[in-house]
Chain A
Amino acid sequence: MTQAISLKRGLPTKTLLGIALIGVVLAVLPFVIGIAGQSWVRTLNFALLYVMLALGLNIVVGFAGLLDLGYIAFYAVGAYTWALLASPHFGLHLPFWAILPISIAIAGLFGVLLGAPTLKLRGDYLAIVTLGFGEIIRIFLTNLNAPINITNGPQGINRIDPFKIGDFTFARAETFFGIRFTGPEKYYYLLLAIVLLILLVCARLQNSRIGRAWEAIREDEIAAKAMGISTRNVKLLAFAMGASFGGAAGAMFAAMQGFVSPESFSLTESISILCMVVLGGMGHIPGVILGAILLAAMPEFLRAVVEPAQHMIFGAVVIDPEGIRMLMFGLAMVLVMLFRPAGLWPSAVRKRELSRGKGASA
């Protein structure tokens, strides 16, 4: 957080105080939530992973305006890269400083691989091709256990090494300065650090030459080209950047879970990440973070509420709680979009565009 402050010169004291307050809240959050149970810290960690993914997808969809429905593929590539390079499956146990960059690089490469043939495609055609790409990756992960066993098929890879810095492992509980840190709590701080780093990169990118080029392409590709923007390179860069963030999140997922299988990388996941970006407010970083946290936490929250609520009202579980949970999830998505079509927390520019009533082409 301090990095972010030093980069923005001349912030008013009020803002600094706000940032300090957020910093304190973020620092003690796992302990406060941990009172309700360690599983909530785990939920919090997943929310952070989703924040990473949503920020990555936001580069592709929000900044550059390229609708990507197969984003989870990069998450899968990152996760499997970590799993293959740090598990007994191949007997490899590389250190994190080797695997993390490799995961990011391979995911970025896949991003370019997807981006290159689809440069000419627009809108919904791009959406369906990216969707197909995501499915292709998942099907290969499921089936690449024969003739050579690479991914171990639908069973997935287990006993993956946790994140380790030297002898310091994030998997065990340990005591520092008289405070006991559990595994999930340690991961929380690690993930938070990565999220802040990604956040910083995103914020700096948005206002850079590249960020403005993305915006220009999003608004009007032909005009952008006429202005001298190399649309090919800039689009590929968007795909690669978005993909590499996904790859980093995937690697962290594999390290944290200790287990990966193709099931975790279904189309539904791609769609829910897209929902986070759009529900929060496309292209607006704080909105995207809000969307990710809400959508990641809401199912868990509903899971905790729906069943006890039925016990209270009817004295028994009358309706399938899972059904109600997802039903409410779907309803929430529809209602938010009906009443706030630009997302919960849209950027000022978008809000203005919509209030002029000319937002039909977005």
Chain B
Amino acid sequence: MPHAVIIKGRSMEIFLQQLINGLTLGSVYALVALGYTMVYGIIGLINFAHGDVVMIGAMVVTVVAGSLMHADPNASAWLVIGAGLLVAIPVCMIVGWTAERVAYRPLRRAPRLAALITAIGVSIILQNLAMMIWGRNYLSFPQVIQPAVYTVAGARISGLQIAIVVIAGALMAALTFVVHHTRLGTAMRATAQNREVAGLMGININTVISAAFLIGSALAAIAGTMVTTYYGVAQYTMGFMLGLKAFTAAVLGGIGNLGGAMLGGLLLGVIEALGSGYIGDLTGGVLGSHYQDVFAFIVLVAVLIFRPSGLMGERVGDRA
């Protein structure tokens, strides 16, 4: 472990700090990755537009929160964010559902690349609609959250970070419960295994697929809220890189696998944070923290070379 050497030389606090930052970021990646992996597991489509659904969630929350704060500057953080979510979740669900209904459903039997191109098209449409509605500039999230900071073993952790990790964890637990212990979840798993046979068993495939999009989009809205409150800004292009990272996380964990998406998201967040924190020391200052993204991708490539179907994925048949 090269880290160990550095930790001895520097301090445990920095390591812990990067770990906390990484876990926060990773929780967001995991939530977004779940949306990718659910859709992929069921219809085998890389929903390129999912990152942009996150962006729309972030934009809506920011705008709603901004106007609420404008009306009442003393509004509490819970009220502002809660009201924002109340608007953002349905908006994102409608966007996700519409995209599936209009753009992906007619292509279910078409070549897989055709659906991928359509998804890219939807992504372009969403981004430019957002640009036309909210403009090119960064929208800043109003300052409602008290910067409560706790110190744990020398590392600083903010209340917001705790909230993000806890809420993400709760949502992931809830989703796991839904998928494994409810009728809808059973239907989803059956559809993922074999769409035709599931249909013969009396499962309404269209309902199940729509449900996957609705759930994924709701999670995306919440993830978008987390991003915009954490970084304090939202912009129409923010969904692209976020979506890319989340998709990377889903593949890292084994795409189509819920547990894998969560693990992949958390791992990617931690790898990124630790990587950008230590890459300078590891290479003697040759490479700086701007190589953060390279770090994430190199780990991904390495994992896939040794485990071609991701960390928790099963060997999938030839679907290329």
Contact = CB atoms under 8 A, between A and B. Distances in A.
Contacts of A333: 117-118, 120-121, 124
B4 to A, nearest CB: 26
Contact of B109 (A140, A143, A357): A357
A49 B56 CA distance: 35
Interface string B288-319: 10110110011011001100111000001011
B130 to A, nearest CB: 9
Interface in B106-140: 106-107, 109-118, 120-125, 127-129, 131-132, 136
Interface stretch (B78-86, B162-170, B247-255): B247-255
Interface residues of B, number: 53
Q: Which 8 A-B pairs have the closest CB atoms?
A: A362-B111, A330-B124, A333-B121, A341-B110, A132-B297, A123-B320, A330-B125, A334-B121
A143 to B, nearest CB: 6
A28 B139 CA distance: 50
Contacts of A275: 117, 120
B113 A326 contact: no
B308 A334 contact: no
B113 A362 contact: yes
Most chain B CB atoms below 10 A, which of A128, A221, A278, A320 = A128
Contacts of B152: none
26 contacts: A125-B304, A128-B248, A128-B300, A129-B300, A129-B304, A132-B248, A132-B298, A135-B294, A135-B297, A136-B294, A139-B294, A220-B318, A279-B117, A330-B122, A330-B124, A330-B125, A331-B121, A337-B114, A338-B106, A338-B107, A341-B107, A341-B111, A342-B111, A359-B110, A359-B111, A362-B113
A124 B122 contact: no
Nearest to B118: A337
Interface stretch (A86-94, A113-121, A163-171, A198-206): A113-121
A232 interface: no
B46 interface: yes
Contact of B300 (A132, A274, A278, A342): A132
B251 A125 contact: yes
B36 to A, nearest CB: 10
Most chain B CB atoms below 10 A, which of A274, A319, A326 = A326
A139 B295 CA distance: 10
Interface string B160-179: 00000000000000000000
B286 to A, nearest CB: 6
Nearest to B124: A330
A333 B115 CA distance: 10
Interface residues of A, number: 60
Given A132-B301, A139-B291, A334-B103, A326 B319 contact: no
Interface in B11-58: 40, 46
A274 B119 CA distance: 13
Interface of A: 61, 65-67, 117-118, 120-129, 131-133, 135-136, 139-140, 142-143, 146-147, 220-222, 267, 271, 274-275, 278-279, 282, 319-320, 322-324, 326-327, 329-334, 337-338, 341-342, 354, 357, 359-362
A327 B112 contact: no
Nearest to A334: B121
B124 A326 contact: yes
Given A278-B117, A360-B109, A125 B128 contact: no
Most chain B CB atoms below 10 A, which of A132, A143, A282, A362 = A132
B118 A338 contact: yes
Contacts of A65: 320
Most chain B CB atoms below 10 A, which of A117, A220, A221, A222 = A117
Most chain B CB atoms below 10 A, which of A67, A118, A127, A337 = A337
Given A125-B309, A129-B300, A67 B113 contact: yes
Nearest to B293: A139
A342 B40 CA distance: 21
B113 A278 contact: yes
B91 interface: no
Most chain B CB atoms below 10 A, which of A135, A222, A323 = A323
Given A320-B132, A334-B118, A329 B124 contact: yes
B132 A319 contact: yes
A178 B118 CA distance: 50
B244 interface: yes
Contact of A125 (B110, B121, B244, B308): B308
Contacts of B103: 334, 338
B45 to A, nearest CB: 10
Contacts of A146: 288
Contact of B304 (A121, A139, A337): A121
B132 to A, nearest CB: 4
A136 B293 CA distance: 8
